[in-house]
Structure formats: C-alpha cells, structure tokens
Amino acid sequence: MYLIDQHTKKIMEECKERARAAGLSFDKETLEYIVTNKDLLELSPKVMIPTLYDYWLYDVEVLKEYGKYKLYPSNPYETVINSRPAISFYNDNNPDWLNIMIFYHVLAHIDFFQNNRLFEHTWNDDFVGVALADKREIEGYRREHGRWADYIIEFSRSIDNITGYFHSLAGLNYPYHLEPDEKLNYYFNTFMPDVLGKSDSDISKEIDRYNRILAVSGDHAAEVFFAEVRQKYPEFTAELEKYERDESPWHDVLLFIRDHSPFMRKPENQWMKSIVTIVHNTAQYFAPQIRSKIANEGWASYWHDNLFRTDDRIKGFESDYARINAGVTSLNRIGLNPYAIGLRLYEYVEDLAEKGKLSWQFEKILNREKRDSFNLKTGKGKETIFGIRQNFSDFMFINTFVDQDFVDLHNLFVVGKRMDEQKGVVEYYIKSRKAEDYKKMLLDSLYHPPHITVSKELTTDKRLYLVHHFEGKQLYQGYIPDVLVGLEYLWGAEVKLQTTEIVAQKENNEVTGYTYRDVLYSCKNKKVTKAIAKDE
Amino acid sequence: MKSNSDLNNEQPITHEEIIRKELEIISEMKKHVHDTGELLPGLYTVSDSDMLPGYYPPRPDFGLMLRSLEDLLDYDKQREQDGFPRRIRLGKLVKPTRGNKSKVIVVPTSSEPKFYHDDSTTDDDEEQTGGSGEGEEGEVIGRKQAQPQEGEGEGQGAGQGEGGDHDVSSEAFDLGKILTERFHLPNLQNKGKKRAFSKYTYDLTDKNRGFGQLLDKKSTLKKIIETNILLGRINPKEPFDPTRLIIGPKDHVYRILSKEKDFETQAVVFFIRDYSGSMQGKPAESVSTLHLFIYSWLMYQYQNNVMTRFILHDTAAKEVPDFYTYYQSQVAGGTRVAPSFQMALDIIKKENLASDYNIYIFYGTDGDDWDNDGKELKEALGELIPLCNRIGITVAKNAWGGSSDTTVEKNINDSGFLQKYPKNIRMDSFKSEEAGEERIIESIKKLVSET
C-alpha cells in the first residue's frame, strides 16, 4: 500500500479543479493509495477501513476471500472511504485516461459523503483516526480479558444492524441544552410528588431552596443540591435510574442493554460498556452508506460521465471510455443496477426541473401533448439535483421521482420469475410496466432491517423482553437462537423475543395461502425455546 | 509453446533456464530484504510510535496480522467449552467450467447471526426484480435451467462485489488441511515411486510493451492508431493513409514468456454415487457432502495432484465430467449397484491406471439394490480390491429404512471382503437423518484411516 506517484496526483488535482468549477464541493485534501488485490481482499471485511478494530471473524472472512479470489480473480477499479481526508484505493495498472474517469467518479462520491445530510454525523471526525483509537482500546481490553472481549464484540455486533440510526440522525441538531435538566425535572415533577408523596407547598419550598443554591453556586448548583438530596433520600439514585429506563423517550436495543444490563452494571464488567459503545458507533458510521447506494452511485456516475466527456483529455480514448462507461451504467435486461438507475433518475429530475415540470402548474395539465411540450426554461436543473444530493436518501429519491414517465422513458419493467415444471426451467417474464409496481419493487428491494424494540413494561433485571414489530416479513429463523444466546450473556438473565411467523398453508404440497402467528422465543441458560401464542 | 522445464528431471538444464532460475532467486532475495528491512532499527526508523508507550507501530502488511486458520479453529473450539455455538463452518465454492475441470475450493466460512428479514417467505406470490428493454407485459424474456446442467452456472465475475448478504452456507479455504490437522485424518503413504509434485511450464501469455518474444500485431496496431490520434495525424472524419502513420518506440506490444505452474497427478479417485429415485434429500446430501470432504482431503494430501473420475448410477452407470454435475444430478430410475463398479474396473483396466497411481474408490448409496444376491457386485469388487488402495463404501440410510441392514450392506457383509481385506475395503453406515458434520467426519475417518 503506497501513495500514488506525483504524475497521477497531478492528474487528480486537475480533476479536482474542474469538479469544483462544475459545482462539486469537497475538502481540499485527499489521499490516494495504490493497493494490490491482496490488500483489497484483506481490507474488505473491515469495510475498507484499515484501522478498524480487529475481530477474529474478519480473519476467517479474509481466508474465505482468498479462496474466492482463486476461483474468480478480479480487478476492482477503486474504492473510496468516507474519512478526513477522504481516502481512495486504486489498482496500479490503470492508464491515465481511465484514472481521470475514476477520479471524477471518486470526487463525486467524496462530494456526496461531505454534503449529503445522511452523513452529517460523520462530518466532524476522521473515522480512520477514531477507529484507530477504538482499536487500541479494544486491544487493551483483549489483553486484559482475553477472548471475553471478543465475545462482547460478537454479541454487540449481533444487533448492530438495528441501532436506531434515523433516531440519532434526527437528534443531531436538536437543541438539547434548551431542555430542562432531566434530573431536576424528575426530582421536582415525579420523585417528590409520586415517590415521596409531598404536597405542592413542600415542593415549592424545595424549589426555593434550589434557587437559593443556584444564586450562590451558579454552575455547580445541581451538584451541590443533589449531594444533599442523596443524603436525605438514599433511594433517589436507584429511582432515577429506573425512571430513565422506563420513561426516557427512545433507546435502541444495543444502548438500552449497555445502560441497563444488570450484568454490565457490575463494577468488574464496566469495561464491556466501552466495547458496546464502539460497536454501536461503528455501525452508526456505516449506516448511511447502505441507505444511499442508488443516490450515491448515481451521483458519481452522473459526474464522471459529464465531467469526463467534456474533458479534453478524453481525446483518443472515446471508444474505450464508452465501453467502460456502458459496463458501469447500462440498464440490465434482467436485474437492478444502482449506478444505472441512479444516473437516469438524476438526469430525469434535472430535465424536469430545467423545464419547470416539478410544479403544480405542470401537474394539473392532463393533455399529453401539452405535457410533452411544457417548458418554462427555468434553468434550475443543476440546482435541483444538487438539492437531492444534499437531502435525499434512496427511499426518498425513488419514492418521490419514479413515475410512469420515467418508467416509460427507459423502458423499465418489473420482472417476474416462475417455474415451468414441465420444461424444468425457471422463466423470467415481463410482469408489469406500471410505475406503481416498479416503484414498489424498487422500494421492496431497498435495505431495511427489522424493527425491534425493548418492551420496558415487561423488562426487569431478571428478563430482557424484545418485541419485533412485524412489517410483512418474518425474521430469519436460523439466526434467532444464536443472537438470543449472545444477548442473554450481555443482559445476564433470560431474554425473550416476541415475533411473528408466516406459515404457509399447504394442500397436497401446493401452497394455498399464508397465515401469521405470534411466537415467543425464550432463551435461558443458553437454551432457546419457542412457544406459539394461542389464538385469541 | 511449452518447453521441457521440469527442473527435477534428469534432463540437462538449458542455458536459458539457468538464467531464469537465477532471476527468480534474485527476485526472491529482493522480496526478502524488503520484509526484514523494516524490522531493523536505525536512526530514522524509530519514531514516537516505537518509543512511547500507548503508541502502536503502523502495520506494514495486514496479511501478516492475520491469525492462521489453526489459531482460528482453536478459538472456535474454545467457544464450545464456553458454551457458545461454533462459528467456523466448512464451506465450498464450486466453479463449474466446461469439460472436466470444474474447480472446487473448500474454505472456512463463518456467518454472523443477526436479526434479518427473511425474504424467502412472504405473501407476495413470487420473487421480483427489475428489467429494461422491449417487450410486452407477460412476455417471457429469459429462461434458466431449474437444475444447472453440465458446464453451466454462475459466469465469470460472480466473485466480484457479490453482496453475499447473510448467505447461510457461503464459503472458504483449504478444507483438506482442516480435515487432516483438526480432525486427525491420517496422512497417506506414497506409492513408492517418487514424483515431482509440481512442475513449471512456460507460455506466451503475458503482454509487454517495447520488447518480447512474439509481436502481438493486433494490440500493436491499436497502439499505433492511438498514438497517431494523440498526435493529431488521424482525423476521425477522413480516411487515413496507413503508410504515413508514425510508429512510436513503445507501440510494439509483444507476448513474453511467463511461468505457469503445472501439476502432475499422483492419485486417481473414483467417486461413485447412487442417484436413483430413492436418493433424495438427506441421503443424497450426506453422500455428496461426504464425498466433497474426501475430495478436498485428498486434494490437500496430494497437493492438488489428484485426478478424479465421477460415476453416477441408477440401473446403469454413467461417467460425468465434473464434480459439479456429480453433485447436482438426479434421476428417477431404479437401482443397480454392480454396473458402476464394473465401469470403474473397466476404466482402470483400459487406461492402465493401476500401475502408475494410487487408486481410491468412494461409493455412496442409501443401501438400495435391485440385485438381491449381489453376485455381479461381488465379482466386480473381487477384481477391484487388489488394484485399489482403498474402497470406501458409505451407506446413508433413509429414514423409512428401519434399522435392519440394507441390501448393499448385506451383500458386502456376505462377500467376506471386509474381514479378508480390512486395509483395502471399508464400509460405514449411518442414518442420514442424524448425519451432521461431526458424524460425516467420523465416517471419513472410518473409511480412510490406516488401522
């Protein structure tokens, strides 16, 4: 792994200038490394972050990648990671013209990382550095606690895909400092009246007392005040913790376990919390990428195409470029290509905006010819797609802009798959050309982890109770027991999971329909059992 | 163009080869120096990261940081003692190619259980994806064999960027090594004759600009055109005169000799399997897995120098070209065991394999045989046993078979071969319902162990 040479770096810097002139914005510094295919195989389980914490299953993955490479050797063109400075990896055998195209692609990715709001929580840190610190910390725990540190990583990772990414994103710019202090709030509004049963006059006297302390001690008022409270009411701390667990607005499962697990609360197990936090934050860091695949790849394809085609350095390589570009951005006859769909959506929206079609004025025209010839020449095309790159996720992008005109323009359709048992073949056929169906198919194929929360009413120190909120798909059953065994370890007591199963109704081996049934998994002493809820 | 370059041969080494050999050694030395150089301290090689506590040195090669498969397996074993399920599984990657060269690689694989949606069961009636192009609604635009046929399968590039999202039985590494070292499978004896494990051949496969052995005319012409476009000597709109083109010194593209590894075969393994109508589900799966494991183990033992033959039988036997077909095929025929062994015998005789190779035959069945007395089978086996190093018979019983001996078991036991030639023929039977990975390994040990 080494930096690209000065000649290639110069090309990169020239690309940056032109990309900036076209409106893209990104940090001044970037790092480009040449890596071998072997390096890439070794980095891929670590999601290309060289400094990500070590974990033994990564090593198994690498060995697997070696095997795979033996069968299917391949040359990846580039990979770029969202770090500060942004780092990208290349093969060293790209000719200059190809590098120019790839650099434009990479720069558009960097622009996307650094401007799309989904990534906002990654803007202030360099993740490569953060990961390195985390890795060292975990290494320290591993030295001290051996394989138990790896167990904590493993069990935390088993639910790191259901960390509440959108919740943390929503809270990012929330003015928490304007909220009343939670402790004070609890003490005056809940603890005094409900737990101690004090009268209103007692409470107002207590408030006066606090205000007096506030006048004297200023910033330290709460500290002084609660030191006294704790002396007077030793049960306050426990009650507060219980209140926080039961009443605090929202927790993802992993953080809930970290904050309230009776097992991790023990002084000798406190270290585990740091590992849980690291796994949680790492997962949050990667969360936006998978939710912006189409928007991000489409954006990069849009720009490598636009910038490279207007770049004089393309001369002599037009046909080579056309071939490579087609490989990246052509629509599949059967199957989905995020580059192709994303690119076409941007182009489509740009055209709509340019002509002023994203307006009520246009919407209300029903005449086909008038719709086609509608053109306000707003000049807002670019501005609009820059807005999309700033504010849209894949879901919003598809949900907002995939319509019949788009589907017709590119001859898109939904492909159905069925067995022809007589011929012994699987047939693919055009199932629908309706935008409605196409949009639904796209949305259904987007990444969507299950929605699982902690039931606070049913959770005690002796039992963690999880609820899966059914959205039409059941959980993959093969993995449920293993996950529960891990969570039981983290909680230090029994774990229950309430979920829904889909049962196929069969008659003579033919599936005639499906029914849902509620089931309850329990895991105690590493044994997992499943109970089927009775019909009501 | 291949040169005689088996360095272990008695033949005199040519001048050219000596040079090549030297160059090899030099390039090896260079690599070596590079590796160790970084470890030696010097004025400018130590930094804060070496000297200050709490700093970790940068890691030059991530490959070096990898734990070995042995360590990982040890760790995995430890898990069991701690009461957690094992994570490392043995997986296989099969890459079908045309002819009999289907590649199988066995690798350690792991899965990370998480809560995932199960996409396979929904009340949507069928799987969907997107598409584009011409065609009416309802029109069929593609067909795929429901069961992959010979030589078909995922094409090139399936390994790249493949999502592999929580794939349950995805793949990994050198199963044979694991089997040998972790499950204490025996090492094999050489057949006496000492052979080179590998040899090199040289072929004109690599391209090089500027110099080389053979001019690649097509690539050269492309380069010349490229150069001339860059120089503005070709106007895309007008025809050009090829005699007036300028040829740059770097435009010549040559093919140069490059070293390719080639293997010699030491052992021949016949895999024979019943694929009749009754071989469905569990029995078929157990036998296939067992044979895959044995295949991998032999590959490891003989450093890939294994020649394999695959025979399937229902009432008649047929040879198939590759493991992939062997693994996938199924018919709804009856069952006669004898023809398959007869076929193996014929092949051995016809190709005179017994004189040069270690011969192994592994046979898998659910125990069903329509020849009740097994006369032909006994005859064929009687001839095969002296020719083979080992015949291993696996009976994976069907759930409905009961616990009594199957026809195959009866016939083999009747023949008395098992007692007479305990080193050459082994049989193991188990209920296929209960055949987990452990039981299969157990079975392999039984079939291949020396004692």
Residues of chain A contacting B115 with CB distance shorter than 8 Å: 158-159, 161-162, 449-450, 452, 468, 475-476, 479-480, 483
Which domain-ending residue is among A429, A444, A459?
A444
Residues of chain B contacting A486 with CB distance shorter than 8 Å: 84, 113
A154 belongs to a structural domain: no
User: Residue A297 contacts by C-beta under 8 Å, 6 or more apart in sequence?
Assistant: A338, A339, A342
d(CA A146, CA B260): 44
Asked if A158 and B114 come within 8 Å (Cβ–Cβ), the reply is yes
Contact indicator for B109, B88 with CB cutoff of 8 Å: yes
The two three-digit tokens of residue A35, written as one number: 């890596």
Helix axes B281-301, B175-182, angle to 10 degrees: 90
- Which pLDDT value is given to residue B265? 54
Asked if B130 and A332 come within 8 Å (Cβ–Cβ), the reply is yes
User: Residue B271 contacts by C-beta under 8 Å, 6 or more apart in sequence?
Assistant: B291, B294, B295, B308, B309, B310, B311, B323, B326, B362, B364
Asked if residue A501 and residue A428 are part of one domain, the reply reads no
Asked if residue A397 and residue A309 are part of one domain, the reply reads no
Give the number of beta-carbon pairs within 8 Å between A and B.
262
Number of folded domains in chain A?
4
- What residue spans of B242-372 are helical by DSSP H? 281-301, 323-328, 338-350
- Which pLDDT value is given to residue B35? 37
Q: What is the mean pLDDT of residues B269-289?
A: 79
Q: What are the pLDDT digits (tens) for B93-114? A: 555 544 444 455 566 677 788 8
Domain ranges, ordered by start, for chain B: 199-262, 265-448
Q: Which of A161, A83, A89, A160 is nearest to A122 (CA)?
A: A83
- Which pLDDT value is given to residue A262? 93
- Which pLDDT value is given to residue B122? 59
Radius of gyration in angstroms for the set of CA atoms belonging to chain A, rounded to a whole number: 28
Percent of chain B with pLDDT over 90: 0
| Phi, psi for residue B396 in degrees, rounded to 5 | -100, 100
Place B429 in a pLDDT band, splitting at 50, 70 and 90. Answer: confident
The two three-digit tokens of residue A257, written as one number: 């376990």
Burial class (CB in 10 A: 0-12, 13-18, 19+), B86: middle
**Longest distance between any two alpha carbons in chain B, whole Å:** 88
* pLDDT less than 50: residues of chain A: 536
Asked if residue A298 and residue A269 are part of one domain, the reply reads no
A145 belongs to a structural domain: no
- Which pLDDT value is given to residue B177? 57
The two three-digit tokens of residue A31, written as one number: 């790092």
- Which pLDDT value is given to residue A288? 92
- Which pLDDT value is given to residue B124? 56
The two three-digit tokens of residue B319, written as one number: 């040879």
> Which of A64, A71, A334 is closest, CB to CB, to B95?
A71
Asked if residue A85 and residue A47 are part of one domain, the reply reads yes
d(CA A213, CA A223): 10
Q: How far is A234 from chain B (nearest CA, A)?
A: 39
Pairing type for strands B140-145 and B103-110 reads unpaired
Contact indicator for A305, A347 with CB cutoff of 8 Å: no
Asked if residue A461 and residue A412 are part of one domain, the reply reads no
- Which pLDDT value is given to residue B23? 58
Higher pLDDT, B98 or B76: B76
Bridge partner residues of B273 (DSSP)? B312, B364
Q: What are the pLDDT digits (tens) for B17-40? A: 655 655 565 555 444 433 333 334
**Dihedral (Cα; B294, B296, B301, B305), 10-degree rounding:** 110
Asked if residue A301 and residue A264 are part of one domain, the reply reads no
- Which pLDDT value is given to residue B41? 43
Contact indicator for B298, B309 with CB cutoff of 8 Å: no
d(CA A98, CA B338): 61
A421 belongs to a structural domain: yes
Three-class secondary structure of residue A460 per DSSP: strand
Place B164 in a pLDDT band, splitting at 50, 70 and 90. Answer: very low
A126 belongs to a structural domain: no
Which domain-ending residue is among A393, A427, A444?
A444
Asked if residue A271 and residue A184 are part of one domain, the reply reads yes
Q: How far is B7 from chain A (nearest CA, A)?
A: 26
CATH code at B265-448: 3.40.50.410
Mutation site, B86, B104, B128, interface A, largest A CB count within 10 A: B128
pTM: 0.67
Q: How far is A288 from chain B (nearest CA, A)?
A: 17
Residues of chain A contacting B113 with CB distance shorter than 8 Å: 158, 478-480, 482-483, 486
Asked if residue A301 and residue A221 are part of one domain, the reply reads no
| Phi, psi for residue A513 in degrees, rounded to 5 | 175, 180
- Which pLDDT value is given to residue A533? 75
Q: How far is A466 from chain B (nearest CA, A)?
A: 12
Q: What are the pLDDT digits (tens) for B396-425? A: 887 665 667 788 888 888 888 888 888 888
Q: Which of A464, A496, A523, A521 is nearest to A264 (CA)?
A: A464
- Which pLDDT value is given to residue B196? 42
Does pLDDT of B191 surpass 60? no
Three-class secondary structure of residue B212 per DSSP: coil
Which domain-ending residue is among A422, A444, A466?
A444
Give this complex's ipTM. 0.83
Provide the residue range defining the domain that includes A404: 330-444
Asked if residue A433 and residue A336 are part of one domain, the reply reads yes
Asked if residue A302 and residue A209 are part of one domain, the reply reads no
A144 belongs to a structural domain: no
- Which pLDDT value is given to residue B403? 64
- Which pLDDT value is given to residue B259? 64
Percent of chain B with pLDDT over 70: 56
